[in-house]
Structure 1
């Protein structure tokens, strides 16, 4: 009987410890993708993404690139992702410091949302969604020679079927012939 109060306390503690999340809807011409963001694990990356969302800067942007088994066949380290969030350079906000997977603990699993970048600390607006687990994109992963990996900050919670359809859009050298329009990205709760 003494264990019941302890179990109740533990259960209450676990419920309170659940990380706060923010949910956003990515409306595309091919359907809706719902994502959950993790501001406690990746505060700078989530804040950056939400600046673009809240200012409406993703309106009329697109998913413009996909990495597939076919177009990655000649690469030593192959990945599968769709990339979106392109916009005119004058709309881009300042680059952010990279929050690596070693810092956040958020790994590149199926449906992970992460910031695209060239060099460390250069991510601005472009993001990608993983198709399947992509450990090569984590800290010390082999995809990027600098070893920093990419900054994961969210997860698809609905709409992976849409992600998979986008990944199959006709492309040349990974870039879609007809990019898939992102109509808008909006917060759907706080």
Structure 2
């Protein structure tokens, strides 16, 4: 497995990305100054068009799926699926311990597998505050958490509408997935 681990100065400017979905648009502000590797990875997926025509394919909603589901977190998960042939190389985990970012309402974070350095193109947005996803949290046995790297700055109502579309299944059927029509950079945010 090849894992990219670029220097911490690989990205310094704040960047903005809009995701057009079947339920509307929302914009995220990336914290490239604090999470440069993860932000650069997300932008590589955006710039290469890998998020265009992808989807939000998993919605974790404990109120529907039971209080034991996924440590009580509420998130929408989208982008590319783990280990997809078109995914870019996996990247090293930028822990919230080092970035100082936290998993709060509207936080954009990179998905990972059981191994810490396994982030690819799967991302999620938090609905509510979720410290169990930060370094030292309970979501993974290793306690390393996930790599928070951005924040929704416009269109949070669209994120909440996607989350609210959850049915009884955490992993959505193909016809129930919420399509990401395209993802693109925007100047200055909203």
Report what 1:158 is aligned to. Answer: 154
Report what 1:73 is aligned to. Answer: 67
Whether the 8 Å contact between 2:108 and 2:124 is mirrored in structure 1 is yes
Report what 1:126 is aligned to. Answer: 122
In 2: Cα distance, 1:76 partner to 1:32 partner: 27
Report what 2:95 is aligned to. Answer: 100
TM-score normalised by length of structure 1: 0.86
In 1: Cα distance, 2:70 partner to 2:186 partner: 40
In 2: Cα distance, 1:79 partner to 1:92 partner: 26
State how 1:43-62 maps to structure 2 within 5 Å.
Answer: 43-62=36-55
C-alpha RMSD of matched pairs (Å): 1.6
In 2: Cα distance, 1:148 partner to 1:37 partner: 21
Report what 1:138 is aligned to. Answer: 134
Whether the 8 Å contact between 2:106 and 2:156 is mirrored in structure 1 is yes
Unaligned runs of 5+ in 2: 1-11
In 1: Cα distance, 2:166 partner to 2:144 partner: 31
- Which is higher, the Rg of structure 1 or of structure 2? 1
Whether the 8 Å contact between 1:169 and 1:176 is mirrored in structure 2 is no
TM-score normalised by length of structure 2: 0.86
Larger relative helix fraction: 1
